[in-house]
Amino acid sequence: MRGQTRREFLVSIGATVLVARAISAEWPSAVRAATDEATEVLERINRWRGWAGLPPLIRHPALEAAAQAHAEYYRLNRGDPDLAGMGLHREKPGNPGFTGEDMLARARAQGYEGSVNENIGLTGSLSASVDAFLGTVNHRLPLLDPRYQHIGFGTVNKDTVRIEVLMVGTTTPWSEQASPDWVLWPIDGMTGVPTHFWGEAPNPFPGAQYPLGYPITAKYFGPGTVVFTHGELRHEGQPVPVHFATGSGWLTRRAAFLAATVPLTVGTSYQYVIEGAIDGQPFRLSGAFQTASRSGEPLTLGAPSLSLPLPPGLAGAPTAIQQRWLVIDGPVASGRRTGWVFGPDAWSVRWEPYADAPGGRRQVVYFDKARLELTNPHADPSSLWFVTSGLLVREMVLGQLQTGDVRFTPRAPADVPLAGDPAPLNPEAPTYASLRPHSTLVTGRPVPDRRGQPIIGILHRDGLVSEEPSRTQAGATYATADPVTGHNVASPFVEWFVTQPWDPLFIVGRPITEPCWVLVRLQGEVRWVLVQAFERRLLTYTPDNPESWRVEMGNVGRHYYEWRYGTPPPLN
């Protein structure tokens, strides 16, 4: 690995590198035949990764061979006193079964030319060891790292020798950054969470008296320098004493973790908060989970359904879309978060033509702020993109109704107000059509990098843009530039993204226009609003709103439905 010393690599016991690339077609036949347990364990790991919005891991024959060879080395040399603790990851030249001193050398010996890491368990069950890995800090991080793409298992369980070796790796170039920016565990809305943490090597909480409560981890994969400042755990609004730590080693840097000082209570709800700053800009991460009420209760995501009735409009939606709503908007419906991501309920479940879907059509579900789509029900359900969030804003701005992966029907851009009251009550408000001349998707020319400059551009209904220097008083600046679409992103939206538990690329998409100020009527009152169009959403920033409501998502689901079907959408 680049910039990594051998010592740093060996003490990590797990994790690093970049998002998966396509795997060659010959691999399935090349991989060693899976045991039933290994197959089930991989499905479980990929289910967890899917919940966190991560790509699935794929078994790789070289990692499989390296992991099994190290398990056999342990069997042949189990009397060696150095095979304990971190020494479990070492081999000695000249000993029976030697294939490499460290995990990287062992992977290279089997032909794997990439970055690797390794977890080792001694439970006698691969399934039990993987469950134990998830309940730790250091061993959890490699399982939930978006940059790993491959995995291999090695086991020995005979003649009183028990060992489970799990190797993960990637052949893509090393990078600190990946998508999504944040990986949190437990995920907001999770139930069946264990109550105890019995410790591990290396010890993430030096000086702690074990057992502790189940550990909470937050790892950052986005751009910039992250600093963690605070972590807390609450039950029924009351603080729970915790250990809070941040990592500095190869595995745990850019990560924070906290755990209650004593085991958690069974069948109990907890809420956590982790705070800090990225390049000086504050962020706040939060989530809630419920501990298992009985021994052996499985982890479940989408469990808000246990205490939150499914809204009636969602009853006819595909299960995968119901679960996506429960995970992301369930906490809003139950009052644990503010700000709808999709909306309080679906108001249209229908089939729409789509050339690349089975049978030439796909099932879609409309919400106030989005449309969720199930294009291929036979795809991998653990993938973040099994359910997609429609590119509605892109279609309305460009005037292109998408009916296939590369098939479009021309339409006039949407003549619908970007913000504020409906058109009859908001006649001067700029529309999606007003934005079209200013999108690089139309002009083909990237906008200059304006980072740090104040946003003073005002968009008018006729599509013209003027500048108003007094707008600097609102404090909005260009914060970052997207290298793909060539547009700058406004500081209020960048700051808001880092506080959200979901992947902005999935929910919002890339910017397709510059941020600009618009003058609109909101409940009859004239207001200044900063708007910016992204592929999937329109974001608004109203500086004189209460703080928690300054950044909002436009009702693009309703706007799009009216544009597409020429009729107002149904009322909720």
Does the reported pTM lie above 0.95? no
Distances (CA, A) of 12 to 192, 249, 522: 28, 7, 54
Per residue, the 3-state secondary structure of 34-91, as one string, reads CCHHHHHHHHHHHHHHHHCCCCCCEECHHHHHHHHHHHHHHHHCCCCCCCCHHHHHCC
What's the confidence (pLDDT) of residue 8? 25
Vertex 255: Cα angle to 251 and 257 (nearest 5)? 110
For residue 352, what are its two tokens?
Answer: 């729409």
Distances (CA, A) of 34 to 41, 64, 151: 10, 10, 12
What pairing do the DSSP bridges indicate for beta strands 538-541 and 525-533?
Answer: antiparallel
What is the number of helices (H) and of strands (E) in the chain? Answer: 16, 29
* Secondary structure class of 539 (helix, strand, coil): strand
Written as one string, the DSSP assignment of 241-256 is -EEEEEB-STTTBTEE
Q: Please check whether residue 458 is in contact with residue 516, taking contact to mean a CB–CB distance below 8 angstroms.
A: yes
Outline where DSSP puts E strands in 90-143: 115-121
CB atoms within 10 A of CB 564: 18
Angstrom distance (rounded) from CA 8 to CA 115: 13
What's the confidence (pLDDT) of residue 495? 86
User: What is the residue type of 151?
Assistant: I
> What pLDDT tens digit does each residue of the chain (572 aa) get?
222 222 222 222 332 222 222 222 222 222 333 346 888 898 889 889 878 878 888 899 999 999 999 999 999 998 898 888 889 999 999 999 999 999 999 999 999 999 999 999 999 999 999 999 999 999 999 999 999 999 999 999 988 899 999 999 999 988 999 988 899 999 988 999 999 999 998 899 999 999 999 999 999 999 999 999 999 999 988 999 999 999 887 788 999 999 999 999 999 999 999 999 999 999 999 989 999 988 778 888 754 433 467 899 998 898 889 888 887 888 788 776 778 999 999 999 999 999 999 999 999 999 999 999 999 988 877 677 889 999 999 999 999 999 999 999 999 999 999 988 888 888 889 999 999 999 999 999 999 999 999 999 999 999 999 998 888 888 899 999 998 999 999 999 988 887 776 778 889 999 999 999 999 888 888 889 999 999 999 999 999 888 878 999 999 999 999 999 998 888 76
Alpha-carbon torsion angle 457, 458, 460, 465, nearest 10: -20
What's the confidence (pLDDT) of residue 162? 93
Angstrom distance (rounded) from CA 153 to CA 85: 20
Query: What residues does 365 pair with on adjacent strands?
Result: 349, 372
How many Å separate Cα 10 from the centre of its chain?
28
What's the confidence (pLDDT) of residue 336? 66
Distances (CA, A) of 24 to 38, 49, 112: 21, 22, 14
How many Å separate Cα 338 from the centre of its chain?
19
Angstrom distance (rounded) from CA 384 to CA 361: 21
My answer on whether omega of the bond before 146 falls inside 30° of 0, hence cis, is no
* Secondary structure class of 100 (helix, strand, coil): coil
Residues 402-436: tens digit of each pLDDT: 999 999 999 999 999 998 888 888 888 999 999 99
What's the confidence (pLDDT) of residue 304? 40
Q: Please check whether residue 563 is in contact with residue 411, taking contact to mean a CB–CB distance below 8 angstroms.
A: yes
What's the confidence (pLDDT) of residue 17? 23
Residue 286 half-sphere exposure toward CB, CA atoms < 13 A: 11
For residue 202, what are its two tokens?
Answer: 């290396």
Query: What residues does 255 pair with on adjacent strands?
Result: 219
Written as one string, the DSSP assignment of 133-158 is HHTSSTTHHHHT-TT--EEEEEEEEE
What's the confidence (pLDDT) of residue 156? 95
For residue 550, what are its two tokens?
Answer: 């300054």
